[in-house]
Structure 1
Amino acid sequence: MNTKVAAPVAKDASMLKQKAMIAGNYAKLGSARADGRKVVSTFVPGNLNELIMCFDLANNLPEINAIQNGMRKRTGGLIMEAEKRGHSEDVCTYVKADLGMIAKGNLGPDGEQLPDPDLLLLSYTGCFTFMKWFELLRDQYKCETAMLHVPYQGDGRITANMISYVVRQLREEVIPKLERISGVRFDIDRLRENLARSARAEEDFVWVMESAKSKPSPIDAYFGGVYYIGPIFTAFRGTADAEEYYRLLRAEIAERLANGQGPVTPSGDMASERYRLVVEGPPNWTSFRDFWKMFYDEGAVVVASTYTKVGGLYDQGFRHDPDHPLESLAEYCLGCYTNRNLPGRIDLLAQYMEDYQADGLLINSIKSCNSFSAGQLLMLREIERRIGKPAAFIESDLVDPRYFSGANIRNRLESYFQMIDQRRNGAARAA
C-alpha cells in the first residue's frame, strides 16, 4: 500500500528569524555566568524589557520557559514533581511547570542549565498569582526582588495619578536597584533609543494583526498570532532584531493579502475560510497543533483574540514614546489586557466582533488561570446579548496535559460550527 507523505511546510524568513532569536536568548542565558553577565527574571505582561536592556542584563521569562516546555510536551512530569512537593492541583500550571523544572535541575527548554537570577523584577499587572510565584522563587533563589506595583484599572481608565505613581517607583526603586545589581549607570538616552525601536516594531505588528479584517484573513490571529506576539511581548522588544522580524512579517503578510491567501497552518496554506471567530482566553500548549487542527480542518479562522493582547493593546493606540520614556513605560504596564476590568474586556470583545465581522465568540476557559477565567461566562452572555451572534465555551489548561480532552473539545467545536450554520441559514431565510 502506498502512503503519501505530506511535504514539510516551507518556513518563511520571519519564522526562521524568530527561531534564531529565541535560540540566541537561551544561549545568552546559558553563558551568562561565564560572560560575567547578570540575570533578571521577569514576566510577560507589563515587562520592562527596554529598561532591562539599558543595564546589559540577560532576561529570563518563567512563563516563556513553561510555554516552550509545554510545546515540547515536557510539562506533565514537571507539574507532577511540583505537586509531589505540596503544590495544589488548582495552582497555575505555569507556576508548577517552573517550580518542577527548578526541582529537576533547572534545565531550560533547550536542555541547557538556566542560571539563577540576580534579580526578580515584577511589574504587577492584574494577576495576583505573579506575586505569589515570585515569593516562591525568592525563597528558592535567595535573591533580590524589585516589585513595581501597577494599580488595577478598577474604573476602566488610566489616570495621571496612576502614571505618576508608577513613574515614581521606577525612579526611586526599580532603576537604582538595576544600577546596583548590574554595575551599569542608567542612561535615559539609551532607553529612548530602545523605545523608538519598540514603537516602529509596534506599528508593523498592529498592521499584521489588523490584516485579519480582510476576507479571507491572511492570518490566524490566535494560533498564528501567538508566534507573531513573541518578539514584542518578551525579551526582544526594543531590539533591532524585533524591528527586522516585524518588517519581514509585514512584507510576508502583505504578499498573502495581495494574493488573496488565507493563513499558513502547520499543514500548509489553509484552503478556505468558512468561519470567522473571536477567541477569549489563552491556548493549550501541550496539544497546540492538535488544537489548531480542529479549527483549520473546519475552515475556522480566528480573526481576533484577547490572549494576543496580554502583553499590550497596541491596536488601541498605545505606542512606546521615546519623548516621555518613564511615563511611557508606566502607561504600558497599566494598559495590559490582564489589568483591564471586566466591563473593559467585554467592550473590547464587542469591538472585535464588529470590527472583524466575526461569526461568533469562542471562550477557551483555562482551568488554572484565574486572571482569564474569572467572569468568562458573563462575557459570553453579554456578547450574545449585545451582538446577537452565537458564543461557545470550551475548557482546557495551559501546560497540564491532564486537562486537555481532544474528543470533548472537538465535539463542542463541531456543535458550535453547526450552530453558526443554523444561525446563518435562519438569517438568510428571514432576508
Structure 2
Amino acid sequence: MTVIVGPKTKPPEAIKDASMARQKQMVNAHYDRLASAKERGEKVAATFVPGNLNELLMCFDMVNNLPEVNAIQNGLRRQSGGYVMEAEKLGHSEDVCTYVKSDIGMMAKGNIGPNGKPLPDPDVLLLSYTGCFTFMKWFELLRRQYKCETIMFQTPYLADGRITKDMISYMVKQLRQDVIPKLERISGVKFDIDRLREYLRKSAKAEDDHVWVLQSAKHKPSPIDAYFGGIYYIGPIFGAFRGTDDAIEYYKFLRAEVEQRIAQGKGPVTPDGDMGQERYRLVVEGPPNYTNFRQFWKMFYDEGAVVVASSYTKVGGTYDYGFRHDPDRPLESLAEYCLNVYTNRNLPMRVDMLENYINEYEADGLLINSIKSCNSFSAGQLLMMREVEKRTGKPAAFIETDLVDPRYFSAANVKNRLESYFQMIEQKRAGFRGAA
C-alpha cells in the first residue's frame, strides 16, 4: 500500500498585541547594536538579569549583553537544544543549568546570536551576585573563554529576611572602591554621578507604569497574563533598556493598551487571539519552559486559565513591593535594587510573596513549575507549596519541565497534570458551595 504524505504545514503565525510586537522590535534592535558594537568602538559588558546594573553601565557607554537572555531567545527560536547537546559533548553534565549549556554550546558553534549575527567578545564580566551560585561558575567559564576581566559585586543574601544599613554600606563601598574604578579603567570614561541620577530618574518613571500593568491583573477578567504575557512585559525593564527613554515610552504604550482592554472587558491576548472566558486564576512559581513556550501557554488558555501573578517576573526586580530606583540616593539605590530581587530572597520571604499574591489577586490556587536544571528556583519548592496551601486553603499543584532543553518537556505529562489540577480547583469550589 502506498502512503501519500502531504507537505508539512507551518503552524499559524502567533498573534501578538502591539506592545508584544514593539518589545520584539526593541530586542532585535539591541542585538543589532550589540553585534556592531566593536565597529563603533563601544565596549561590551556581560552581566545577568537579577541585580543587573544597567544604569551604571550606561554611564561608561557600555553595551549590555545578558547571557541568560541569549539562552532564552535561542530557546524560543528552538535553537537551544542543539547548543545544550554541544556543551554536553564538551563535558558538561546533564544536571548543569541549561542556560549555561546553551550559552557554552552557542560559543562553541561560533557565538552566533539570536539575530543570526556573531556576538562580540565582552570587555568585562560584571557579576552582581544575587543568590544564584551558578552565575559564579558560569562566569568562571566565560572568563576562561574570553580572557577578560571579571568584576564581582557581592550582594548579601537576605537570610534573615530584612535589609540592614550595614548591607547597604558594604555594597556602596564596593561600588565606590572597586566596581566604578574598574569600569572607568576598562571603558576609558570618567564616572559622572549626575548622569547616573538621570538614568535612575528614567528607570523610576518606567517602573511606575510597569507595576501598574502587573497589578491590572487584579481586575476580573484579568487583561494580562502575568506569566506568559509577562515574559514580554518584563523584557525592557529587566534588561538593556532600563534607564532609557525607550523604556519610558514602551511602558507608557503598554499601560495605554492594557487600560483599553480593561475598558472593553477583555482578557489577555494569546498566540491564538483574545482568550475566551476566564475560568481559573492562578499564581505560578518558577520559570517557564521556553523551547515549547507557545504549546505550554496553550495548555492554560485552552482551559480558560490565566496567570494573575508569578514569582518569575520578579527575578529582575520586585517593583510591585514598593522598590523604585532613587536618583537622590544613587549608589544606595543600586544596592537596594540588588538586595530586593527574587533570587536573593529566602524561602519564608518567597512563601509570603506567593501567599500575598493568592489573596490580593483572588487566585484559585498556586501552580509550581519545577525546573530540572535550576536549583536557584527548585530548591524548597515542595515545602513552599505545602506552606502556601496551608495558609490560604487554596489547592496547589506541581509540574516539571526545563528552561531551554526540549528533552525535558513532556507535553502529555504536563497536560495531564494541569487537567487534574483544574479538576481539583472545581472540586474545591463545589465543596465550598456545598458548605455554604
**TM-score over 0.5 for the pair:** yes
* Equivalent pair of 2:354/2:388 in contact (CA under 8 Å): yes
> Is residue 169 of structure 1 aligned with residue 168 of structure 2?
no
DSSP 3-state at the match of 1:417? helix
**Residues 15, 270 of structure 2: 8 Å contact kept:** no
- Structure 1 residue aligned with 2:6: none
SS, match of residue 224 in structure 1: helix
Cα deviation, residue 6, structure 1: 9.8
Task: Pick the aligned partner of 1:217 from 217, 222, 228.
Answer: 222
1:100 maps onto 2:97 in alignment: no
Q: Please give the alpha-carbon distance, in whole angstroms, between the structure 2 residues aligned to 1:366 and 1:345.
A: 16
Post-superposition Cα deviations, 1:376-400, rounded to whole Å, max 9, x if no partner, equal: 0001110111111100000000000
TM-score by length of 1: 0.98
Q: Does 1:375 align with 2:380?
A: yes
Residue in structure 2 matched with residue 343 of structure 1 by the alignment: 348
User: How far apart, in 1, do the equivalents of 2:11 and 2:402 lie?
Assistant: 30
Matched, 1:115 2:133: no
Alignment partner, residue 19 of structure 1: 24
2:301 maps to amino acid: Y
Give the drift of 1:9: 6.2
Amino acid at match of 2:229: G
Secondary structure of the residue aligned to 1:110 is: coil
Alignment correspondent of 1:328 = 333
The one-letter code sitting in structure 2 at the alignment partner of 1:51 is L
Cα separation, 1, equivalents of 2:42 and 2:288: 34
Which of 57, 76, 83 is the equivalent residue of 1:71?
76
- C-alpha distance after superposition, 1:141-161 (max 9, x if no partner): 000000000000000001110
Question: Structure 1 residue aligned with 2:268, among 263, 268, 271?
Answer: 263
d(CA) in 1 for partners of 2:246, 2:359: 34
Counterpart of 2:53?
Answer: 48
**For residues 297 and 429 of structure 1, what CA distance do their matches in structure 2 show?**
28
The one-letter code sitting in structure 2 at the alignment partner of 1:319 is R
Q: Percent identity?
A: 74
The amino acid across from 2:307 in the alignment is: V
SS at match of 2:228: coil
Q: 1:37 aligns with which of 29, 38, 42?
A: 42
Letter of the aligned partner of 1:311 in structure 2? G
Match of 1:140 among 141, 145, 154: 145
For residues 173 and 140 of structure 2, what CA distance do their matches in structure 1 show? 23
Cα deviation code 1:252-283 (max 9, x no counterpart): 00000111100000000001100000000000
1:263-309 CA-partner distances (Å, limit 9, x unpaired): 00000000110000000000000000000000000000000000000
User: Structure 1 CA distance, aligned partners of 2:119 and 2:30?
Assistant: 11
How far residue 14 of structure 1 moved from its aligned partner, in angstroms, is 2.1
- Tell me the alpha carbon deviations over residues 116-141 of structure 1, each in whole angstroms, 9 at most, x when there is no partner: 00000000000000000000100010
Structure 2 portions without partners, runs of 5+: 1-9
1:414 positional shift? 0.3
Query: In the alignment, residue 160 of structure 1 is paired with which amino acid?
Result: K
Matched position secondary structure for 2:152: strand
| 1:353 has 2:368 as partner | no
Q: How does 1:294-313 map to 2 (within 5 A)?
A: 294-313=299-318
User: Within 5 A, what are the aligned runs for 1:389-404?
Assistant: 389-404=394-409
* Partner SS state of residue 220, structure 1: coil
Instruction: Tell me the secondary structure at the aligned position of residue 229 of structure 1.
Output: helix
Query: Which of 220, 243, 256 is the equivalent residue of 1:251?
Result: 256
Q: For residue 25 of structure 2, what is the amino acid of its counterpart?
A: A
Q: Does 2:412 correspond to 1:407?
A: yes
How many pairs were matched up? 427
CA distance in 1, matches of 2:159, 2:388: 21
The structure 1 residue matched to 2:196, chosen from 191, 195, 198, is 191
1:276 counterpart = 2:281? yes
* Counterparts of 1:15 and 1:361, CA distance in 2: 26
Aligned to 1:204: 209
Distance 2:38 2:365 in 1: 50
Equivalent residues of 2:15, 2:271 under 8 A apart: no
Which residue type is aligned with residue 56 of structure 1? D
Deviations 1:305-346 (A, max 9, x none): 000001000000000000000000000000000000000000
1:126 matched to 2:131? The reply is yes
Q: Residue 367 and residue 10 in structure 1: after superposition, are their counterparts in 2 closer, same or farther (change >3 A)?
A: closer
Structure 2: distance between partners of 1:255 and 1:76: 39
Indicate yes or no: 2:92 matched with 1:80. Answer: no
Q: Partner of 2:424 in structure 1? A: 419
Name the CA distance, whole Å, in 1 between partners of 2:12 and 2:418: 28
Q: Which digits, 9 at most, give the CA deviation of each residue in 1:63-92, with x for residues without a partner?
A: 000000000000111001100111000000
Q: CA deviation at 1:8?
A: 5.6
**Aligned partner (choices 342, 364, 373) of residue 369 of structure 2:** 364
**Aligned with residue 384 of structure 1, among 369, 386, 389:** 389
Structure 2 distance, partners of 1:400, 1:9, is 22
8 A contact 2:155–2:171 mirrored in 1: yes
- C-alpha deviation, 1:16, in angstroms: 3.0
Cα pair 2:16 2:271 within 8 Å, conserved: no
RMSD: 1.1
Q: CA deviation at 1:24?
A: 1.3
**C-alpha distance in 2 between matches for 1:33 and 1:216:** 48
In structure 2, distance between residues paired with 1:335 and 1:10: 34
1:11 shift after superposition? 4.4
Q: Would you say 1:182 and 2:187 are equivalent positions?
A: yes
Gaps of 5+ in 1: none
CA contact (8 A) 2:16 2:269 kept: no
